[in-house]
Structure 1
Amino acid sequence: MTSWVQYAVISMVFAGFTSVIAKQGLSGISGELGLTVRTVFVFIFVLAFALLFVSRREFAGLQARNYLWLGASGLTTALSWIFYYKALKAGDVATVALIDKGSVVVAMILAALVLREQITPRMILGAALIVGGLLVIARR
């Protein structure tokens, strides 16, 4: 298994834990406050990670284009998290997490349109299965 696949699997496991742990943390508070507290912790952990593992030379290599695209990514991440926490506060973890994972299909389409990544028949089948599973679980 290649390293990027291993990293993706580890990410998947932590993301699964994240939703359940977050739901516990939202007890008695709003989703907005919960997201704010969580984001402060994320900021601290990611900053510590960068200070330990990113060379000073790499920081110096940042360009305006990096700031533009990573800033846009940060904005869309913030919007995603805001609405995820609103949904998590009111809904079931499994259903909210599944709907959120529908973002795979959105990412696949955007990657084809913007980055010119190829969509294969296997990917179309996978996307259809994701959407099908989403509809089965989300429907009450």
Structure 2
Amino acid sequence: MKSITLSWPFWAVLSAAFAALTAIFAKAGVESLNSNMATLIRTVVIVIAAIAFVLITQSWQSPGSISNRSWQFLILSGLATGASWFCYFHALKLGDAARVAPIDKLSVVFVSVFAVLFLGEKLSFPNWIGVGLIATGAILVAWRL
């Protein structure tokens, strides 16, 4: 039997749990601070943690061994991540975490659409219903009457 720690659902659930904590901690941290400065502090912490994780797990790979295509897409991913974080922290500064986070999770809907359009992935009809339900749920959770 395959270990649960080798399965993608295990790591995806952990990612979701840590993302939830990120929203709670960020909202508390940005309360009396400029959102851009808060994003900078978070980014520095992430860089230090990522370096430590690579060293501890002995995952270092020579930068010269990484293909140009990988570099290009990882740089684009980094820029998109940075833009997302700045927008997210600004939204948290202005709004409630319980309303900002669900709208941020519309990224699940965008990923599904982009994966089909740009990566050629296929989603079944039930998958599309799920995407629609995620979009509807995110909007309903964030909606304040």
Shared fold (TM-score, shorter chain, > 0.5): yes
Supply the RMSD in Å over aligned alpha carbons.
Answer: 1.5
2:83 to 79, 85, 100: 79
1:49 to 44, 48, 53: 53
**TM-score under structure 2 length normalisation:** 0.90
1:19 equivalenced with 2:14 (yes/no): no
Separation in structure 2 between the aligned mates of residue 103 and residue 131 of structure 1, nearest angstrom: 9
Q: Give CA deviations for 1:46-85 in whole Å, capped at 9, x if unaligned.
A: 1111122244456552111111000000000100111000
Aligned residue in 2 for 1:126: 130
Aligned residue in 1 for 2:12: 8
1:70 equivalenced with 2:74 (yes/no): yes
Q: Structure 1 stretch 21-30 or stretch 93-102: which is displaced more?
A: 21-30
Please list every run of 5 or more consecutive structure 2 residues that lacks an aligned counterpart in the other structure: none
Separation in structure 2 between the aligned mates of residue 104 and residue 37 of structure 1, nearest angstrom: 26
1:58 and 1:3, CA in 2 relative to 1: closer, same or farther beyond 3 A? farther
Following TM superposition, where does structure 1 have runs of at least 4 consecutive aligned residues deviating by more than 6 angstroms?
Answer: none
Amino acid at match of 2:35: G
Which secondary structure state, in structure 2, belongs to the residue aligned with residue 117 of structure 1?
coil
Aligned residue in 1 for 2:43: 39
Give the aligned length. Answer: 140
Which secondary structure state, in structure 2, belongs to the residue aligned with residue 85 of structure 1?
helix
1:109 to 105, 113, 129: 113
Amino acid at match of 1:12: A
Q: Structure 1 stretch 102-111 or stretch 23-32: which is displaced more?
A: 23-32
1:57 and 1:86, CA in 2 relative to 1: closer, same or farther beyond 3 A? closer
**TM-score under structure 1 length normalisation:** 0.93
Amino acid at match of 1:21: F
Aligned residue in 1 for 2:33: 29
- Check whether the contact 2:29–2:38 (CA below 8 A) recurs between aligned residues: yes
Q: Give CA deviations for 1:73-103 in whole Å, capped at 9, x if unaligned.
A: 0000100111000001111101111000001
